[in-house]
Structure 1
């Protein structure tokens, strides 16, 4: 470190150093992902594979080269033999390769319980009606209040995560959730059950916001679409496979085994969070090179991983330029995000699609029991198609987002490059474009239409969902062979997951520094709307029939695309106006 100090002092005195080829290479590669979302990248082709493994390998090489370069300078006493390390742009994050996989896997595991806990006991609802001596409508209220508090919980937890870091809030969420599940496994009163369902939802719901915050901390726009798609898909996977798990447990071990299963599984996840989930909040660790000040932010994995130990500076060093200012928890900060027209409009559309899917999921259990006379296990098996749609939708939507982003970005780059060439020819009085040196061109990605890149694919997903849910409703009403409606639940879940992924990724793109709060907005709006629609689904079916009810829902989803089209059209201007006010 003394050598680095001497070097910096010499540079301040006017020492001029030559940049070596290695640094030029690393600087050029890392320039694409440096210190935020509105970065500038050199004018080279963007037609590269964004396969997750390739991304991880490229990031690993960049980070290793960067830290190897800094280490080599600290060992050399001769400033004339090395290049100025300050010109090397630090990587956006040091978490790559296996480290990225571990972080995303643990975040997915925790978020999985948020969507799992509501539908897992749907197959047991007929049994619970008899055990608790209540009506079907009152049992359905346990689903409604779960969704209601699932929307309210992240408001508090998300603000705490932005203020105090991801790891401490993960611990709090899982501990509250485990305690509520223990109580539900022992409950004998309907009133106590309602209270514990509220506590259960409030505890675990924020894991989706926290996971999105982790994704925002360690990704850039280039690879965020695919990783966010994977995360959102696994986070919502419980909605598809929860009834299958619940049906098997109820049939084999009784309804209480559902909550004991949740206790055991979430306890294992809590242990995994403690061992492997490193703090990623950039106000505490920057790009990951800064050693956390408090013990609660330090994971055992960061102490034993050879790669992380090499990159994390325990001596107070690290890439301090990547450290964001700390802020106090702002519990109503999500309202400041939600009041923006582009945020509110896209969330209304996405939440209606999510609610349509969840209405179908809630009504499906009763339909299979009443129309096809399925038992608890068979009802659970009937949700396999629904679950497969959510899995496939999560992966495919992420791939589509990355592909379309690269395609649209390359088109934008070519347009800007052509305009820049013409300006250079006029400025330098050149006669031919071949005389212009394209290597000096820099693309200002801050003016790129990210709204169009994320939302263009929403309409086909909406049509898929609407057709699927309408066909499902009429095939149930006319008691068509059960395979037919179950197949169409695949398309409903595929469309809903994809639509929600597009909207969620866009919000993280717009608010990367407030990713957890942005996802709190998503959870708040979708869960509040879903709670209201689930509360009404039984009466809608009684009044309109299965076919009429879900035809109405499908039509509402199609009409909501007007909100998406408005954001697509005017969203960039709204963002530009916000940025101008901040400046």
Structure 2
């Protein structure tokens, strides 16, 4: 499903050069920016019609907010019990006594006891045994104070059932730091970023090559780059299906137990062909062969690179349960940053060593990316479990 999901953004990669070339050819280069401003505005307005898909039971942010509210409620309850305990101690030591009116005390002292002898003494004893108004009041206070066994009020329970998130709870920096502190995430995000950087670089330099060496205009450049976008779309769909098939097979072999790292095993077959396809593209451009060869190598490069990328994206989601949105956002940050760097260094390298040297260099970087994916497949499970245990201990400690 992740392959089909990621196929939607790749439509832009496929049709963008063609549409941009047509607009530039017909209306000038400024028309592309007008079109982008209008189109993105419509996309933003479309969000108003979307339903909220936030699932509290699967959100680590919501769970952390609930735990924090419970700790605060517990502290408030403990403070209340401490005050009640002090009040009971004061009452039991006779410090909370209702004062009788001074005149009544004087009157009682001056009032003689009726009777005499033994009869008078009995009346005196019975009067002494009768509880005074102050002691009766003290007993009422003690009975009115709730004991520690008193159940929590229904109001407090209702507050915990429906916790409203604040800006402090939805701060994106904290979850992203937790994602970045896991070694398996750092490795897979770096691999994903390198693959995406390659995608930015090849689209940019291919347009320069076709314009300078082949004399193509913007529309024809878009038509050639359509082959790269088609390879990416097909790789996303077929690579995702292949990943699901391998994952299901490994899950059956392990008796129904599954690990997110199983997703990465499906990428090995694509890893064998990606570096040769990249080197081949570079050298067909360098040797200025027929444009059909460039189209074929663009298609293969897009197909193999996105087949690997779709599996890494699925792993990022599966390995970060509860904070997958933060992990995907951090992945976008990685790939955008590396894509920017790749596009900036592409022109100087292309001018210095040509397409053949540039994409031979990219083949080496992609080999490093593949080694990172294999490293996560081998050691990522232990890294992830260790990080989860550390985070659980920290959450329990409060």
TM over 0.5: yes
User: In structure 1, which of residues 378, 383, 402 is the aligned counterpart of residue 225 of structure 2?
Assistant: 383
Task: Say whether 1:241 aligns with 2:51.
Answer: no
Q: 1:322 to 1:260 in 2, by over 3 A?
A: farther
Unaligned runs of 5+ in 1: 1-225, 287-320, 414-442
Task: Say whether 1:514 aligns with 2:323.
Answer: yes
Aligned partners of 1:385 and 1:487 also within 8 Å: yes
Which residue in 2 is equivalent to 1:211?
A: none
**Per-residue deviation, 1:462:** 3.0
Q: 1:323 to 1:505 in 2, by over 3 A?
A: farther
C-alpha separation in 1, matches of 2:58 and 2:286:
56
TM-score normalised by length of structure 2: 0.68
C-alpha separation in 1, matches of 2:161 and 2:239:
30
**Per-residue deviation, 1:506:** 0.8
Task: Say whether 1:281 aligns with 2:90.
Answer: no
Which residue in 2 is equivalent to 1:334?
A: 176
TM-score normalised by length of structure 1: 0.47
Which residue in 2 is equivalent to 1:449?
A: 259
**Per-residue deviation, 1:283:** 2.9
Matches within 5 A, 1:268-307: 268-275=42-49, 277-283=50-56
Aligned partners of 2:231 and 2:303 also within 8 Å: yes
Which residue in 2 is equivalent to 1:251?
A: 25
Aligned partners of 2:172 and 2:326 also within 8 Å: no
Which residue in 1 is equivalent to 2:193?
A: 351
Aligned partners of 2:176 and 2:327 also within 8 Å: yes
Matches within 5 A, 1:307-322: none
**Per-residue deviation, 1:349:** 1.6
**Per-residue deviation, 1:323:** 8.3
**Per-residue deviation, 1:531:** 1.6
Task: Say whether 1:501 aligns with 2:317.
Answer: no
Aligned partners of 1:282 and 1:324 also within 8 Å: no
Unaligned runs of 5+ in 2: 60-159, 394-398
C-alpha separation in 2, matches of 1:527 and 1:459:
25
C-alpha separation in 1, matches of 2:10 and 2:298:
15
Aligned partners of 1:232 and 1:501 also within 8 Å: yes
Structure 1 vs Structure 2 CA RMSD? 2.4
Higher Cα Rg, which structure: 2
**Per-residue deviation, 1:337:** 0.8
Q: 1:361 to 1:579 in 2, by over 3 A?
A: same
Task: Say whether 1:538 aligns with 2:380.
Answer: no
Q: 1:577 to 1:323 in 2, by over 3 A?
A: farther
C-alpha separation in 1, matches of 2:355 and 2:16:
23
C-alpha separation in 2, matches of 1:506 and 1:254:
42
C-alpha separation in 1, matches of 2:302 and 2:269:
14
Note the alpha carbon deviations across 1:192-251, whole angstroms, 9 max, x for none: xxxxxxxxxxxxxxxxxxxxxxxxxxxxxxxxxx2x211222123322321111001111
Greater RCO structure (CA 8 Å; 6+ sep): 2
Aligned partners of 2:10 and 2:229 also within 8 Å: no
